[in-house]
A and B are shown apart, each in its own frame.
Chain A
């Protein structure tokens, strides 16, 4: 699976958009981009995934660059409850069973 690089931490003001970047410059054509988040003392929670097109759901939007070497998770109106560690994971659909979470980005949403 391709390696991902994320900033260690980010801040965002409540009500503003939170844009979380992820670099995956070695991604191959059949690898998906997944995002999970983990709120303190809870298990990780699935947010969204995509292959090449931008995706949106009730939680977030995922913007993948045309060359697919990077992506951005967008939380359009961050709330205090969005404070969490956000993990960007790249994997091949049929590559096996493990998700490599890495260390993620610790997002702090401030009042």
Chain B
């Protein structure tokens, strides 16, 4: 596709349930980011992949959060034993080159809205 695609767009989970959120970045983009956006707040960084390597996971809030990008393309963000405070929009972004090579733009998907009941 032409842009970053995320699925599902909406997910309702019961507390304690595991969820998986998928991101299809723009084809050929080296860098992939996950952000979390709570209601009324700006996006907050979770983790970064360069190809299949997870180079930064400093923003993951707990060990219940896990992300992977095994073949350097599609990425999955998994949240285990969901809690109400996990309710947020999860945004995926990709860019053509690694951050250090040029101050390039990020292309964001529309996000996956997770509601934990």
Contact = CB atoms under 8 A, between A and B. Distances in A.
Interface of A: 32, 34, 36, 38, 41-46, 49, 85, 87, 91, 93-94, 96-104
A18 to B, nearest CB: 19
B108 A44 contact: yes
Contact of B103 (A45, A49, A101): A49
B4 A102 contact: no
B103 A34 contact: yes
18 contacts: A32-B103, A42-B108, A43-B4, A43-B109, A44-B43, A46-B105, A49-B103, A87-B42, A93-B99, A94-B99, A97-B33, A98-B48, A98-B56, A98-B59, A99-B45, A99-B106, A101-B42, A101-B44
How many chain B residues sit at the interface, stated as a range, is 20 to 34
Contacts, number: 60
Contacts of B42: 85, 87, 101-104
B110 interface: yes
